[in-house]
Chains A and B, each alone.
Chain A
């Protein structure tokens, strides 16, 4: 265990925000889910007791019937905003006094930084480069992430859970988003920061960054395992494998989506276009963990090799 190496990585000024992220994201996941579960308990209670549902104010926040539903913005909201601004300012001042922004040597194209890392918020994309070619990891997938995020409100046809924390009423949506945002995005940022070392090789936390380390990895393509050698054969085989993946993943997600009676009703509301878009984004997102497993556990690089592009 090389504690010094661990300290060097975590105390690098530009890595401090990610150290913060490692604590902030779990905190807010807990903070949000705690309110979700509280609301879920209330929902279960109201569903079991229709008489109560008619009279209850339907919030977990304290309530008295003679309280007004609204409060004046001044002072009740503005004082909180002022306080928040004050606290953020203090945090920023303390952070800026205690920790200096990094400044390396002057830019020099002839001396390559190793590892040459993108800014931390793009490390997820850089980590994707391990699993996909640059045109996928750097261009197509980021575009799909942005478009997919924008499309969420137009694909989520669940009428419940608008304006309050809940988990039970929106299980599928919340789990899918957490998989994308926390496991894949934040997870890969953390991997890119703390685990990837020189040569973008995998160093466990506490492992010394050995700049001379060589890894003799035999990365094969899926078609090599099946002994396909001709270019045509590879292309057709890869197309079939990719097609089978999307069919299987689509079938799997379809089964998960239709798991409950409620979700089947939500599904019935969707147009074909909405549903196909949802399937497309979900299965494409799932392609990433699939390729991570294939690459890290089975040393398989591409599943589809053609003369023009590889996936």
Chain B
């Protein structure tokens, strides 16, 4: 016992140190366990809550909040007509058109990194894009075909809205906005046509803008144009091309209209278009069919 006694305090001391360390680490261990437990339920973390704001679970209320409290989805209502989600009614054409606009913005911005809107290098930039830029050809193809597809989907969207009579009250004005967007889509595509600076674009734009010189009163070859003092150097075609021929100024103007001006204008009208879809009572149908003999002609209100 006496022999052991000097050892014991030592060993006791060793054990004490270990215990001490363990004791010291205990709060950390508890925190670690808490953190690990938190990882199993990420919805409960501050980070998650700060991003998503509301709890998500399988309740109708939570599903609604998921849509309504999300900036990208808040254009949607929380609930829609159960038959409207079928493909057969809307054909999805408006949504596809908007999606294509996003795709075109994305590919367009990437294309802008490789393109100089100047007569000397524009065509070479396209060659460079096609042959040297990684995925450059795919990028250009997607932009081109996406644009053509967008025109088709815009037309079909208009056709669907007409067939379902969705332009009728209270959606008259949104149809007008839609027609403006249709024109802007065509102009977007047309201004992009010139940018490769090849024969195809050059002659297409030449043919297109030649019509402008026949504008009544505003073109030098149009009816009453000369009487209004129009010459090839001051008429509306000159304003469009920045010159009397399709040349470097026309290229720059097409570029700025195509990449900056029209996208901003179109986006503005799109905001109005989508906002009005909601404000005019959401999607128009499919609503119950009306019968001719049920119309109260005298109560239809002001014309």
Residues of A within 8 A of B (CB): 14, 17, 20-21, 24-25, 28-29, 31-33, 35-36, 39, 42-43, 46-47, 53, 57-59, 61, 67-78, 80-81, 84-85, 88-89, 91-93, 95-97, 99-109, 111-113, 116-122, 125-126, 129, 133-135, 137-140, 146, 149-150, 152-154, 156-166, 169-170, 173-174, 177, 181, 262, 265, 269-271, 274, 308-309
Question: A109 with B172: in contact, given A122-B190, A164-B164 (CB under 8 Å)?
Answer: no
A58 and B179 contacting across the interface, CB-CB below 8 Å: no
Contact in complex: B169, A67 (CB < 8 Å): no
Majority SS at the chain A contact face: helix
The chain B residues found within 8 Å of chain A, CB to CB, are: 60, 63-64, 66-67, 73, 76-83, 85-89, 91-92, 95-96, 99-100, 103, 123, 126-127, 130, 137-138, 140-146, 148-149, 151-152, 155-156, 158-160, 162-169, 171-173, 175-176, 179-180, 182-183, 186, 189-190, 193, 196-204, 206-208, 210-216, 219, 221-224, 245-246, 284-293, 295, 297, 300, 303
Q: CB within 8 A of A88: which of B77, B78, B99?
A: B99
Question: Judging by beta carbons under 8 Å apart, are A100 and B175 in contact?
Answer: no
**In the complex with contacts A150-B176, A164-B165, A170-B165, A117-B87 CB distance below 8 A:** no
Known contacts A72-B60, A80-B85, A121-B151, A92 near B142 by CB under 8 Å:
yes
Q: Are B165 and A161 in contact (CB under 8 A)?
A: yes
A111 and B199 contacting across the interface, CB-CB below 8 Å: yes
Q: Please name the residue on chain A nearest to B210 by beta carbon.
A: A134
In the complex, chain B residues whose CB is within 8 Å of the CB of A101: 140-141, 143-145
Q: A133-B214, A135-B215 are in contact. List 20 more A-B contacts (CB 8 A).
A: A35-B88, A78-B73, A85-B96, A88-B99, A88-B149, A93-B138, A107-B199, A116-B204, A119-B189, A120-B148, A135-B216, A138-B214, A162-B287, A164-B164, A164-B289, A165-B164, A166-B165, A181-B155, A181-B159, A274-B303
Contact (A135, B152) CB under 8 Å given A81-B95, A169-B292: no
Q: Would you call B221 and A134 a contact (CB within 8 A)?
A: yes
Decide if B168 touches A135 in the complex (CB within 8 Å).
Answer: no
- Contact partners of B137 in chain A: CB under 8 A: 100
CB-contact partner of B99 in A84, A113, A165, A174, under 8 A: A84
Q: Is the CB of A153 within 8 A of B167?
A: yes
**Interface CB pairs A-B, < 8 A, 30:** A36-B163, A39-B289, A70-B81, A72-B60, A72-B79, A73-B73, A76-B85, A84-B92, A95-B149, A99-B145, A100-B141, A102-B198, A106-B199, A108-B202, A116-B204, A129-B211, A134-B221, A137-B211, A139-B211, A139-B222, A150-B180, A152-B162, A152-B175, A158-B165, A160-B295, A162-B290, A163-B165, A164-B165, A165-B286, A269-B303
Q: Which of B79, B199, B297 contacts A108 (CB 8 A)?
A: B199
Q: Quick one: closest B residue to A27, CB to CB?
A: B156
Please state if A103 and B207 are interface contacts (CB–CB under 8 Å).
no
Name the distance in Å between A37's Cβ and chain B's nearest Cβ. Answer: 12
State the majority secondary structure of interface residues on B.
helix
Smallest beta-carbon distance A208→chain B, Å:
22
Report the Cα distance A278→B81, complex, angstroms.
34
Which 6 pairs across A and B sit closest by C-beta, in order of nearness? Answer: A138-B211, A163-B285, A58-B288, A134-B214, A153-B172, A107-B202
B202 touches A109 (CB 8 A): yes
* Closest chain B residue, CB of each to CB of A70: B79
Knowing A39-B289, A70-B82, A166-B289 are in contact, say whether A103-B214 is a contact too (CB < 8 A): no
Instruction: Quote the shortest CB–CB distance from B155 to chain A (angstroms).
Output: 8
Residue of B nearest to A112 (CB): B203
Which B residues touch A137, using CB under 8 A? 211
A81 to B73, CA, bound (A): 11
CB distance from A234 to the nearest CB of B (A): 16
Q: Which residues of A contact B204 (CB under 8 A)?
A: 116-119
Q: Closest chain A residue to B300 by CB distance?
A: A159
Q: Is the CB of A96 within 8 A of B145?
A: yes
A57 and B288 contact, Cβ closer than 8 Å, known pairs A28-B156, A113-B199, A150-B175? yes
How far apart are A294's CB and chain B's nearest CB, in angstroms? 21
Interchain CB contact (< 8 A) of B200 among A35, A91, A104, A156: A104
Cβ distance A84 to chain B, nearest Cβ, rounded Å: 5
Contacts of A150 in B (CB 8 A): 175-176, 179-180
Query: Contact at A92–B164, with CB atoms within 8 Å?
Result: no
**Which residues of chain A come closer than 8 Å to B126, judged between CB atoms?**
103
One of B73, B87, B175, B196 near A80 (C-beta < 8 A): B87
Contact for A162 among B89, B103, B166, CB less than 8 A: B166
